[in-house]
Chains A and B, each alone.
Chain A
């Protein structure tokens, strides 16, 4: 009994030092030397300012001003999606796309609440496709059945950096119109910033939203 206690106590302390301190330090050291970009979260800078991480989704929206002040609701600023940018997937994380407190939305498959949330996301997606005069950018207009599932369903992490190609192709009509670009230019960007499957088969391809939006700004910097 006493022997076991002594061995356990020494063992826990020594193993904590080895695997709780030395091991993470070693991995950090090697990573920072060999893969510094990845190890620090693939930070993206524009004009010396940190504008995001390549692999963390964010909200491309504008703050809503009321009487010259940012409108707030429940302590969070009210925002509206910016039509000049590709929009990320709906997120359950509050404040929107806050990477420092990620959360599942946990919508059940048979829930009235889920249905209502999906309907709201679908309506927002369709509304964004409409020009100020009410005509849809997407030829023939969008209906719920035409909205890709990833544009209505919330992501798991709340900070999904990618959208499906179908989703990007629909948004391309809007982007081309509001930025006065040709549709084929936008499509070229979509294929350029589409991340393929892992090893060619694992997972699904998706368009990196931050990267394509930055590329759009480089192409037509006047808008935004």
Chain B
């Protein structure tokens, strides 16, 4: 551990808060229809889109109509993406398939399509060996925008349901979607993509280049429109890399500066949404309380991960390496990490990407130490409530807030109320379902995969992992897909990295299909329950706060909320976690 490492973490947290606060106010203006500074730019395209798409933005939707529009829009998007990916060679006339890659087989494409539609971006393919530039742009990048939009609008709709004073309407899905893309994602993404190129990311349509090295060894340089996809991949907490090694690849993440920027860009929208919520609720302290809750859990994870990684791994020590700080090297577990990011920049990135639904990685999570690797597990077990995905984080933690209010109400013996609205049986049933569906799906899929010969972690390469590592791989795979995260203990089988020049990727059908189901079900079921909660709360009268009303904007509530999150997460996942990462963290034993 170094002073600069801790300083990076401190500066990151400070800067995030400073940037997220004004962005939150801006987003509140976007969703309440107030004038924003970008109105002069986007007003015209916004109206044009309403006209072309035949949308009447004035028309409010109740939760069922809102959900129907959302589901149909997602379904059509799924079909479009599946079509583009499966017909890859059909688009060769655009000149955007310089390597003449054929489509991946149907099972891999099913998984990939479900993955990008659900904001997961789990990848059973290697980008630079499978996808044409056209598929990356018109297919995958587009879903990066749309799936981020879907997450955000659900959060906005839920907030409207909580704060609305009358009626059934929770907004208009089409209006929310278009305004999200134009007013929030587009300006950030365009500026950010250009900054990335300025710092060294690539953005071109050339064929792959052949290098003749100075010692006579040749090398192939993959090219492509990387920065444009990288920007929205991080801002939208998508995480699907242009290249197989994702944000570890120097063309995606060239410097220590871009690494810092990439980490920031993942969390600014999830952070801003929390502040937006406080503003829309008419009480900024509600937002601050939730932000504090998230930040405490986030910092806990970062500190543990950084200390664990700086310590080094049992395998390193067994091989005789010295893992302490020496002059000119920070030491630590550099296995699967890049020199320019170092230990702190890798550990921090790892926590950021697993608390959100981003899943982009700048280091190999599988090569983290036992405890360092248990941190992403714990983050995923908290079900996207520590900042979480764009939108997903806010609506998920609001489910926990309502649950905490209910438990608090039971403790003091009063009818639970949240922001003046009574929390009753119907809401609690829906909230419980929303909270439990993700862990249940993850555990179910892990069980099926572990019980089947073909989907159990059987490593394809020579470094087959037995013991807890194999179980960790399998478990992490389905946990990550259920939480729509997409990061991986990437040794997990299911796809075989094709040799360069070998077109398409090969999949294991069960892993592809099970994963696809895992992602879609664990994404849309909670969305439906969250919208149903919005609908149930929208019509309720607001009663003024009295003396005995439990406050939800003070430190006591923050403690209660953290307790509920840890309790639910721990109770659901602890037995499974014990079998994998915790065993590895507790022992220096080396497994075959």
Chain A interfacial positions (CB closer than 8 Å to B): 1, 3-16, 19-21, 23-24, 26-28, 30-32, 34-35, 38-43, 46, 49-53, 55-63, 77, 79, 82, 85, 89, 94-115, 117-119, 122, 143-150, 152-169, 195, 197-199, 201-204, 206, 213-214, 217, 224
The residue on B at minimum CB distance from A143 is: B320
Instruction: Give chain B interface residues in 167-207, CB to chain A under 8 Å.
Output: 174, 177, 181, 189-190, 193-194, 197-206
CB-contact partner of B329 in A19, A56, A149, under 8 A? A149
Identify which of residues 204-236 in chain B touch chain A, using a CB-to-CB cut-off of 8 Å: 204-206, 208-217, 219-223, 225, 227-229, 232
User: Contacts A10-B54, A23-B228, A59-B213 known; A4 to B465 CB distance under 8 Å?
Assistant: no
Nearest-neighbour CB distance to chain A for B227, whole angstroms, equals 6
Q: What are 10 A-B contacts defined by CB distance under 8 Å?
A: A7-B53, A7-B54, A20-B142, A31-B204, A34-B194, A34-B198, A51-B213, A100-B222, A100-B500, A111-B315
| Cross-chain contact A157 with B249 (CB below 8 angstroms) | yes
Taking the closest CB of chain A, its distance from the CB of B123, in whole angstroms, is 12
Contacts of B193 in A (CB 8 A): 27
Q: How far is the CB of B407 from chain A (nearest CB, A)?
A: 38
Asked whether any CB of chain A lies closer than 8 Å to the CB of B86, the reply is no
Q: Is the CB of A217 within 8 A of B214?
A: yes
Q: A52-B213, A82-B215, A198-B256 are in contact. Are A102 and B319 (CB under 8 A)?
A: no
Among the listed A24, A58, A110, A214, which residue makes an inter-chain contact with B313, where contact means beta carbons less than 8 Å apart? Answer: A110
- Besides A101-B128, A148-B331, 18 more A-B contacts (Cβ < 8 Å) are A4-B69, A15-B181, A40-B223, A41-B202, A41-B223, A50-B211, A61-B215, A97-B219, A100-B129, A103-B497, A106-B491, A110-B315, A113-B464, A149-B321, A153-B334, A156-B338, A197-B256, A202-B8
> Quick one: CB contact mask for B337-372 with A, threshold 8 Å, 1 for yes?
111111101100000000000000111101111101
Is B211's CB under 8 angstroms from A51's CB?
yes
Residue from A56, A57, A97, A153 with most neighbouring chain B CB atoms (10 Å): A153
Q: Are A110 and B216 in contact (CB under 8 A)?
A: no
Bound-complex Cα distance A82 to B181 (A): 52
Option from A42, A55, A110, A154 in Cβ contact (under 8 Å) with B469 = A110
Q: Across the two chains, which residue of chain A brings its CB closest to B225?
A: A24
Q: Which B residues are in CB contact (< 8 Å) with A3?
A: 54
Find chain B residues with CB under 8 A from A35 CB: 197-198
**B254 A149 Cβ-Cβ under 8 A:** no
Taking the closest CB of chain A, its distance from the CB of B77, in whole angstroms, is 5
User: Which one of B36-44, B257-265, B281-289 is at the A interface?
Assistant: B257-265
Query: A41-B223, A59-B213 are contacts. A10–B340 as well, Cβ < 8 Å?
Result: no
Task: Give the complex CA separation of A77 and B115 in angstroms.
Answer: 37
Query: What is the minimal beta-carbon distance from A185 to any residue of chain B, in angstroms?
Result: 18
**7 interchain residue pairs of minimum CB distance:** A203-B256, A198-B256, A198-B257, A144-B320, A166-B328, A204-B342, A165-B328
Within 8 A of A (CB), among B232-260: 232, 243-245, 248-251, 254-260
**Beta-carbon contact of B336 and A206 below 8 Å:** no
Nearest residue in A to B252 (C-beta to C-beta)? A157
| B367 near A109: Cβ-Cβ < 8 Å | yes
Give the residue of A41, A46, A114 whose beta carbon is less than 8 angstroms from that of B335: A114
Complex alpha-carbon distance, A147 and B374, angstroms: 28
Q: Is B312 an interface residue (CB 8 A)?
A: yes
The answer to the question of B11 belonging to the interface, with a C-beta cut-off of 8 Å to chain A, is yes
User: How many Å lie between the Cα of A89 and that of B464 in the bound state?
Assistant: 23
Cβ of A75 to closest chain B Cβ, rounded Å? 8
Q: Are B345 and A27 in contact (CB under 8 A)?
A: no
Cβ A204 vs Cβ B364 within 8 A: no
CA distance A208 to B245 in the complex (A): 20
Asked if residues A145 and B258 are in contact (CB atoms below 8 Å), the reply is no
On chain A, the residues within 8 Å of B363 by CB distance are 156
B202 and A156 within 8 A (CB): no
Which A residue sits closest to B309, measured CB to CB?
A109
Known: A118-B319, A157-B249, A164-B329. A201 touches B197 (CB 8 A): no
Most buried by B among A6, A49, A53, A113: A113
CB-CB nearest in chain A for B260: A202
Q: Is B587 an interface residue (CB 8 A)?
A: yes
The answer to whether B251 touches A4, judged by C-beta atoms less than 8 angstroms apart, is: no
Q: B339 to A164, Cβ gap below 8 A?
A: yes
> Hey, which chain A residues are within 8 Å of B200, CB to CB?
38, 42, 55
Are B367 and A14 in contact, CB atoms less than 8 angstroms apart?
A: no
Instruction: For B53, list chain A residues within 8 Å (CB).
Output: 7, 10-11, 14
Residue of A32, A114, A154, A197 most packed against chain B (CB within 10 A):
A114
Does B14 lie at the interface of the complex (its beta carbon under 8 Å from any beta carbon of A)? no
Of the candidates B203, B206, B499, the one having the most CB atoms from chain A within 10 angstroms of its own CB is B203
CA distance A214 to B211 in the complex (A): 14
Give A195 to B182 CA distance when docked, in angstroms: 37
Contact status A58-B219, CB under 8 Å: yes
Q: How far is the CA of A21 from the CA of B75 in the complex (A)?
A: 21
Flag if A40 contacts B335 (CB, 8 Å): no
Cβ distance B277 to chain A, nearest Cβ, rounded Å: 26
Is B336's CB under 8 angstroms from A60's CB? no
| C-alpha spacing A144/B198, complex, angstroms | 40
- Say if the beta carbon of B139 comes within 8 Å of chain A: yes
Which residue of the partner chain, among A10, A15, A20, A57, contacts B137 with CB atoms under 8 Å?
A: A20
Would A201 and B214 count as touching, CB distance under 8 A? no
B138 within 8 A of A: yes
Residues of A within 8 A of B335 (CB): 105, 107, 109, 114, 118, 153-154
Q: Is the CB of A104 within 8 A of B321?
A: no
- B211: which of A38, A39, A53, A112 is its contact (CB, 8 Å)? A53
Q: Is the CB of A4 within 8 A of B216?
A: no
B567 is an interface residue with CB less than 8 A from chain A: no
Q: Determine if B259 and A56 form an interchain contact, defined as CB atoms under 8 angstroms apart.
A: no
Q: Would you call A112 and B245 a contact (CB within 8 A)?
A: no
A55 contacts B254, C-beta separation under 8 Å: yes
Q: How far is the CA of A197 from the CA of B467 in the complex (A)?
A: 39
**Are A202 and B257 CB-contacts (below 8 A) given A61-B217, A106-B490, A154-B336?**
yes
When chains A and B are docked, how far (Å) is the Cα of A31 from the Cα of B219? 25
Min distance, Cβ A188 to any Cβ of chain B, angstroms:
16
Indicate if the CB atoms of B250 and A161 lie closer than 8 Å. yes
Q: How far is the CB of A96 from chain B (nearest CB, A)?
A: 7
The residues of B that contact A112 with a CB separation of less than 8 Å are 590-592
CB-nearest residue of chain A relative to B231? A27
Given contacts A39-B203, A110-B584, A204-B345, contact A98 B220 (CB under 8 A): yes
> Is residue B429 within 8 Å, beta carbon to beta carbon, of the partner chain?
no
Contact of A58 with B500 at beta-carbon distance under 8 Å, contacts A12-B80, A20-B141 already known: no
Contact residue among B69, B199, B204, B333 (Cβ-Cβ distance under 8 Å from A40): B204
Instruction: Assess the A109–B373 pair: CB atoms within 8 A.
Output: yes
Tell me the minimal C-beta distance from A109 to chain B in angstroms.
Answer: 4
Once the chains are docked, how many angstroms separate the CA of A2 from the CA of B276? 34
Please indicate the chain B residues that have their CB under 8 angstroms from the CB of A16 in the complex: 80, 138, 142
Chain B residues near A113 (CB-CB < 8 A): 462-465, 592
Q: Which residues of B contact A159 (CB under 8 A)?
A: 249-250
Complex partner residue of A166 from B198, B248, B327, CB under 8 angstroms: B327
A198 to B196, CA, bound (A): 13
Residues of B within 8 A of A114 (CB): 313, 315, 335, 367, 463, 590
Among residues of B, the one whose C-beta sits closest to the C-beta of A19 is: B145
